[in-house]
A = this chain, B = another copy of it.
Amino acid sequence: MLKGVITVMLQPNVLDVQGQAVQGALKHLGFESVEKVRIGRQIEMILPTEDREAARLQLREMAEQLLANPVIEDFQIDIQEA
């Protein structure tokens, strides 16, 4: 069994309103030096296979078809032992 992790982040040129708000709040809390806060999603799942290549392919398809929105988001795939 493998654990697939897909990390979805907004593309660099898309304004990250949420990231901005969090950055403001962090500065307010005294973390003044923090810059470029960006917020994304992490999707984890268990895949009942040992074949890492097959898993990677599947995860890529899932990301492209559903988990990331190609208009505004990029994604990264990571595979670990479950």
Report the separation of the CA atoms of residues A23 and B47 in the bound assembly, to the nearest whole angstrom: 12
Q: Find out whether the CB atom of A67 lies under 8 angstroms from the CB atom of B22.
A: yes
Q: How far in angstroms is the closest Cβ of chain B from A3?
A: 9
Q: Find out whether the CB atom of B22 lies under 8 angstroms from the CB atom of A34.
A: no
Assess A38 versus B31: contact at CB under 8 Å? Given A22-B67, A25-B66, A67-B22. no
* A-side interface size class: 20 to 34
Q: Which residues of B contact A40 (CB under 8 A)?
A: 41-44
Q: Find out whether the CB atom of B35 lies under 8 angstroms from the CB atom of A66.
A: no
Report the separation of the CA atoms of residues A36 and B31 in the bound assembly, to the nearest whole angstrom: 35
Interface centre among A33, A44, A46, A48 (most CB of B within 10 A): A44
B-binding residues in A (CB < 8 A): 7, 9, 19, 22-23, 25-26, 29, 31, 33-49, 58, 61-62, 65-67
